[in-house]
């Protein structure tokens, strides 16, 4: 007779989820026992890494991923990256073990108390089945919930004695849509407003890349003859950054952002919140008198916007439908932004010179994973990404995502046969939040390159303190860390890079290696301004 465990594995197979990311404990062993040969277990040494690796894998494969966590403490450890997965809109089915049902009343060791409350409010659904027999159907529902827009993590708490119970007949394997089209009447109103605008501007966010809609974005921008900006602090890139219409990334503060849009009477935002700010700088959301139109697949994101009119719809479907409705217009072509000046290569390297060298040696199909807070604008100014699916970072502001995400993205490159080279740029502070992900990369022999700009400080926090006039904050310096020794300890190759030429050579070797390489680069310690 089939057990709950048998039926669940069958369902996971049918849903194409034969990779399990996790860190095991006793509450998970009854699920994991006799782990089937056609499944892959991706072992992370800490739950933050398990979630981050799964998130990167899900985004790079375009499919949901399953993470299996240890009861309450494991879920707690995972929480930072669950917050990030929520903001990233990554469909993750997170399962966690729970103590034996028969003992729960007395709350033995490893009981998850109020397990469905623990991951709130950063999951779309959290559930502990009432009966063991409901586990497979709950998984089906979790899957359908995670992947529908806006996608995100879901959570199931699963008592360890459920797996051996006799199963009910298996639940039907269901499918649900992952995108929806915009209301045609409202779409026509948006198209009319764009047609009659004197000077429209387009702001694109990560949902455009998630929807595979770069071409539709280019088609609309060219139809409109409008400049294109990246939304502030995007977790993915949405437009070819060598396109003459592309203007760069908007600043993440209200006043300065509105200033960049000065002179436009209509701002079309697609696939991003309005707007993702960081420091509070008083100012308008958009230039005085300008109208904002917002396209998003998330009703909550539409409701939160402080100004403008919104239209719900998948970014790709909506961009394509809008372009079809736009008559040719006669507007002067936007002015192309100037290229960056030559870098100053004197030593120690500036972050700018490091990234200029990285851009010179960048593999044309490379994927960049970024968690280098104070040097982000230098990196984005130098390295212009030209292909879809080429840039990943966290939408949340929580450190400890980039390194494991890069491992998951590199694994996805191998599993999908795309074999795009993956290079992560991770600050020497950020490096430590999920550092053990390096071990998983080494065990899986992934040719991942991790460039670590070493400034021995939390530079962005110093910049924030300067902006806010709050001197004397402790805990902002990071002396005495040997990044190479840490990397070696987890099984990575490592070379300290001091000059632009060395970076080219080291990158070349690392991209051809059959394992991860960490490249610490000592950089200058001056503090880039926050804005």
Ligand X SMILES: Cc1ncc(C[n+]2csc(CCOP(=O)(O)OP(=O)(O)O)c2C)c(N)n1
* Residue nearer to ligand X on the CB measure, 86 or 433: 433
**In the complex, least distance from residue 392 CB atom to ligand X, rounded to whole angstroms:** 16
* Residue nearer to ligand X on the CB measure, 9 or 431: 431
The reply to whether 349 sits near ligand X by the rule CB under 6 A is: no
* Residue nearer to ligand X on the CB measure, 362 or 433: 433
Q: Report whether 23 contacts 374 (CB < 8 A).
A: no
Residues 6+ apart with CB under 8 A from 131: none
| d(C-alpha 266, C-alpha 193), whole Å | 8
**In the complex, least distance from residue 163 CB atom to ligand X, rounded to whole angstroms:** 34
56, 398, 421, 500: residue in contact with ligand X (rule CB under 6 A): 398
Q: Which of residues 32-91 bind ligand X (CB under 6 A)?
A: 80
* Residue nearer to ligand X on the CB measure, 327 or 472: 472
273, 429, 447, 520: residue in contact with ligand X (rule CB under 6 A): 429
| d(C-alpha 220, C-alpha 203), whole Å | 12
Q: Report whether 445 contacts 411 (CB < 8 A).
A: no
* String of contacts with ligand X for each residue 439-458, x by CB under 6 A: ----------------x-xx
**In the complex, least distance from residue 121 CB atom to ligand X, rounded to whole angstroms:** 18
The reply to whether 433 sits near ligand X by the rule CB under 6 A is: yes
Q: Report whether 87 contacts 441 (CB < 8 A).
A: no
3-state secondary structure 411-431: HHHHHCCCCCCEEEEECCCHH
DSSP-based three-state secondary structure for 170: coil
| d(C-alpha 240, C-alpha 261), whole Å | 20
**In the complex, least distance from residue 521 CB atom to ligand X, rounded to whole angstroms:** 12
The reply to whether 404 sits near ligand X by the rule CB under 6 A is: no
* String of contacts with ligand X for each residue 259-298, x by CB under 6 A: ----------------------------------------
Question: Which residue is nearest to ligand X, using beta carbons?
Answer: 427
Token output for 76: 């707690």
**In the complex, least distance from residue 480 CB atom to ligand X, rounded to whole angstroms:** 14
The reply to whether 399 sits near ligand X by the rule CB under 6 A is: yes
428, 447, 450, 520: residue in contact with ligand X (rule CB under 6 A): 428
Q: What is the CA radius of gyration of the chain?
A: 24
Element (H, E) at 187: helix 184-196
91, 287, 373, 402: residue in contact with ligand X (rule CB under 6 A): 373
> Which residues on adjacent β-strands are paired with residue 391?
368
**In the complex, least distance from residue 428 CB atom to ligand X, rounded to whole angstroms:** 5
* Residue nearer to ligand X on the CB measure, 301 or 428: 428
In this structure, what are the phi and psi dihedrals at residue 204, rounded to the nearest 5 degrees? -115, 140
**How does strand 126-127 pair with strand 228-230?**
unpaired
CA atoms within 13 A on the CB side of 261: 33
230, 237, 413, 430: residue in contact with ligand X (rule CB under 6 A): 430
* Residue nearer to ligand X on the CB measure, 193 or 461: 461
* Residue nearer to ligand X on the CB measure, 115 or 232: 232
**In the complex, least distance from residue 476 CB atom to ligand X, rounded to whole angstroms:** 8
| d(C-alpha 131, C-alpha 505), whole Å | 59
The reply to whether 522 sits near ligand X by the rule CB under 6 A is: no
Residues 6+ apart with CB under 8 A from 429: 373, 399, 457, 458, 478
What's the Cα-to-Cα distance from 255 to each of 39, 303, 461, 531, rounded to whole Å?
Answer: 51, 21, 21, 11
Choose the binding region for ligand X from 245-253, 268-276, 319-327, 427-435 (rule: CB under 6 A).
427-435
372, 377, 440, 495: residue in contact with ligand X (rule CB under 6 A): 372
* String of contacts with ligand X for each residue 457-486, x by CB under 6 A: xxxxx-------------------------
The reply to whether 397 sits near ligand X by the rule CB under 6 A is: yes
**In the complex, least distance from residue 394 CB atom to ligand X, rounded to whole angstroms:** 9
Residues 6+ apart with CB under 8 A from 173: 11, 14, 15, 140
Q: Report whether 85 contacts 399 (CB < 8 A).
A: no
Q: Report whether 159 contacts 100 (CB < 8 A).
A: yes
What's the Cα-to-Cα distance from 354 to each of 34, 403, 517, 520, rounded to whole Å?
Answer: 48, 19, 17, 11
Q: Which residues bind ligand X (CB under 6 A)?
A: 80, 372-375, 397-400, 427-430, 433, 455, 457-461
């Amino acid at each position: 007779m089939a057990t709950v465990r048998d039926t669940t594995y069958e369902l996971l197979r049918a849903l194409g989820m034969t990779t399990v990311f996790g860190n095991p404990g006793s509450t998970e062993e009854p699920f994991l026992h006799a782990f089937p040969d056609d499944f892959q277990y991706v072992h992370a040494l800490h739950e933050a890494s398990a979630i981050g690796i799964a998130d990167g894998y899900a985004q790079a494969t375009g499919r949901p991923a399953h993470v299996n966590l240890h009861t309450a403490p494991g879920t707690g450890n995972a929480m930072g990256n669950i917050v990030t997965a929520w903001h990233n809109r990554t469909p993750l089915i997170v399962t966690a073990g729970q103590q034996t049902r028969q003992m729960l009343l007395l709350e033995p060791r490893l009981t998850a108390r109020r397990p469905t409350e623990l991951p709130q409010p950063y999951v779309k659904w959290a559930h502990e089945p009432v009966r063991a027999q409901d586990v497979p159907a709950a998984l089906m529902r979790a899957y359908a919930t995670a992947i529908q827009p806006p996608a995100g993590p879901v959570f199931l708490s699963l008592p360890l004695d459920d797996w051996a119970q006799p199963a009910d007949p298996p639940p039907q394997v269901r499918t649900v849509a992952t995108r929806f089209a915009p209301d045609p009447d409202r779409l026509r109103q948006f198209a009319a407003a764009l047609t009659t605008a004197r000077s429209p501007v387009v702001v694109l966010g990560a949902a455009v890349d998630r929807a595979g809609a770069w071409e539709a974005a280019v088609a609309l921008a060219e139809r409109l003859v409008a400049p294109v900006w990246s939304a502030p602090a995007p977790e993915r890139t949405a437009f070819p950054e060598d396109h003459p219409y592309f203007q760069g990334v908007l600043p993440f503060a209200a006043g300065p952002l509105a200033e960049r849009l000065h002179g436009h009477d209509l701002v079309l935002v697609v696939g991003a919140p309005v707007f993702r700010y960081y420091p509070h700088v008083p100012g308008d959301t958009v230039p005085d008198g300008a109208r904002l139109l917002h396209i998003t697949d998330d009703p909550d994101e539409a409701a939160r916007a402080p100004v403008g009119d919104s239209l719900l719809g998948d970014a790709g479907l909506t961009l394509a439908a809008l372009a079809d409705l736009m008559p040719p217009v006669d507007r002067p072509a936007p002015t192309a932004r100037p290229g960056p000046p030559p870098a100053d290569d004197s030593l120690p390297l500036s972050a700018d010179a490091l990234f200029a060298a990285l851009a010179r040696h960048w593999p044309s199909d490379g994927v960049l994973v970024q968690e280098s807070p104070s040097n982000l604008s230098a990196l984005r100014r130098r390295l212009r990404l030209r292909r879809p699916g080429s840039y990943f970072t966290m939408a949340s502001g929580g450190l400890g995502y980039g390194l494991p995400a890069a491992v998951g993205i590199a694994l996805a490159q191998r599993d999908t046969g795309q074999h795009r080279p993956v290079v992560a740029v991770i600050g020497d502070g950020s490096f430590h939040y999920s550092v053990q992900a390096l071990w998983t990369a080494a065990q899986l022999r992934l040719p991942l390159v991790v460039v670590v700009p070493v400034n021995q400080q939390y530079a962005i926090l110093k910049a924030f303190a300067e902006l806010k006039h709050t001197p004397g904050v402790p805990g902002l310096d990071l002396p005495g860390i040997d990044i190479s020794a840490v990397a070696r300890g987890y099984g990575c190759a490592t070379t300290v890079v001091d000059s632009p030429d060395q970076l080219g050579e080291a990158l070349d070797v690392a991209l051809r290696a059959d394992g991860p390489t960490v490249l610490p680069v000592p950089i200058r310690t001056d503090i880039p301004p926050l804005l």
